[in-house]
Amino acid sequence: MTAKKKYKINPETLAMEQVEHGLNYWLRQTGIYIIAGIILGIIFLYLFLILFPSPREKQLQQEKEEILSQMKVLNQQVDQMQAVMSDLQERDNNLYRVLFGAEPIPLNVRQGTQRKIEYYEQIAKMTNSQLAAELVLKVDILEKELYVQSKSYDEVVNLAKTRELRMENIPAIQPILNKDLTRIASGFGLRIDPVYHTSKFHHGMDFTAPTGTEIYATGNAIVKFNGWRQGYGNTIILDHGFGYETLYAHLYESLVVEGQHVRRSDVIALVGNTGKSTGPHLHYEVRLHGQPVDPRNYYFMDLSPEEYDKMIQMSSNHGNVLD
């Protein structure tokens, strides 16, 4: 079969002339066929690789699926650990720390500061980014919470170890013998000053007693101050540790020296009438972290519930302030 001949019109003679193909034409045609063949070959190869992956690709795909499955399981386990951690945090704040008088730890302190936002943005660009970023964030928060919780339990354990010492040291009895509660003159709060006759806050409790009546240390302590103070007269201040101090004023005589260790119920002084005082009595204060607090809350080793109620009523008397 012979190839078809091609003709074209000669513009000068207007005659039909046979087209003769040169070498360039045949080279161009050959190039087109070769390029088309290469493109088709690439397409077929791509389809083949997709439809029929190599053993190595099959292995990688299987490993990928296993990793994703493990990440989902790990994500669920982290959720369970976070639930357990939330329960531990609640019990820590509302039971253990309350039991030992420690402040609760706020949530923002427990969770802390996570990594910079750029770190999570970088993870978000990866394949399966949502699952990975979610897991990394959860682990970051859980890691911080575990650290803070560990420190909190260390603190609670230390408080438990020092609880016995704390109970021995903090003020817990009345500073003079007062079984029938008849020696309470005035309590903590606003009162009319007996000298200046103006309203003034009374930072302690007054106990009436004859001059020379024994005064007791209300908890184990070290004598921090022993001397004269303006308004208070002869004064003793005991440092009980744990932020507690007690003050004993208007003394007739001190029986201790600064730096001396005393124990609860030790006699440390005698009742007097020194300083700004209108009669023999003891002015007694309890201070916590430098601030005066109501001494009525620190007689729990000395009074029954009924005696405590009676003492509350008597110490509310506004008329018998003696200093």
Q: What is the CATH classification number for the domain harbouring 293?
A: 2.70.70.10
- Cα–Cα distance, 306 to 174 (Å, whole number): 16
Q: How many domains does the chain have?
A: 3
Q: Does residue 190 sit within a domain? A: yes
Q: Does residue 198 sit within a domain? A: yes
What does each C-alpha distance from 77 to 63, 82, 160, 214 come to in angstroms? 21, 9, 32, 66
pLDDT value at residue 298: 87
- Cα–Cα distance, 175 to 299 (Å, whole number): 9
Place of tokens 């540790």: 241
Decide: helix, strand or coil at residue 17. Answer: strand
Instruction: Among 169, 193, 219, give the residue marking a domain's end.
Output: 169
Is residue 251 within 8 A of residue 272, CB to CB? The reply is yes
Within 13 Å and on the Cβ side, how many CA atoms surround 148? 22
pLDDT value at residue 227: 95
Whether 125 and 216 map to the same domain: the answer is no
pLDDT value at residue 55: 73
Whether 259 and 216 map to the same domain: the answer is yes
Whether 119 and 22 map to the same domain: the answer is no
Instruction: Among 141, 169, 197, give the residue marking a domain's end.
Output: 169
Mean pLDDT for each consecutive 10-residue tract of the chain (323 residues)?
A: 60 64 71 81 74 70 73 75 72 64 72 56 57 71 76 74 82 88 79 68 88 96 95 95 94 96 96 89 92 87 77 64 56
pLDDT value at residue 318: 47
Amino acid, single-letter form, for residue 47: L
Whether 158 and 239 map to the same domain: the answer is no
Quick one: which of 234, 84, 231 has its CA closest to 149? 84
- Cα–Cα distance, 128 to 133 (Å, whole number): 9
Strand partners, 199: 192
Q: Does residue 65 sit within a domain? A: no
Q: Does residue 83 sit within a domain? A: yes
- Cα–Cα distance, 106 to 1 (Å, whole number): 95
Whether 188 and 281 map to the same domain: the answer is yes
Whether 188 and 282 map to the same domain: the answer is yes
Whether 261 and 308 map to the same domain: the answer is yes
Whether 299 and 194 map to the same domain: the answer is yes
Place of tokens 């699952």: 131
Whether 279 and 242 map to the same domain: the answer is yes
Q: Does residue 63 sit within a domain? A: no
Quick one: which of 176, 197, 178, 169 has its CA closest to 283? 176
* 287 sits in which H/E element: strand 281-288
Is residue 171 within 8 A of residue 112, CB to CB? The reply is no
Whether 36 and 89 map to the same domain: the answer is no
- Cα–Cα distance, 138 to 142 (Å, whole number): 6
Whether 43 and 14 map to the same domain: the answer is yes
Q: Which residues have C-beta within 8 Å of that of residue 61, sequence separation ≥ 6?
A: 53
Instruction: Among 110, 134, 169, give the residue marking a domain's end.
Output: 169
What does each C-alpha distance from 297 to 33, 39, 64, 164, 267 come to in angstroms? 103, 93, 66, 19, 22
pLDDT value at residue 75: 75
Sign, CA torsion 268/272/274/275: positive
Q: Does residue 322 sit within a domain? A: no
pLDDT value at residue 279: 86
Q: Does residue 67 sit within a domain? A: no
pLDDT value at residue 125: 57
Strand partners, 205: 284
pLDDT value at residue 2: 55
Amino acid, single-letter form, for residue 178: N
Domain that holds residue 21: 7-51
Place of tokens 């034409």: 25
Q: Does residue 60 sit within a domain? A: no
Within 13 Å and on the Cβ side, how many CA atoms surround 26? 4
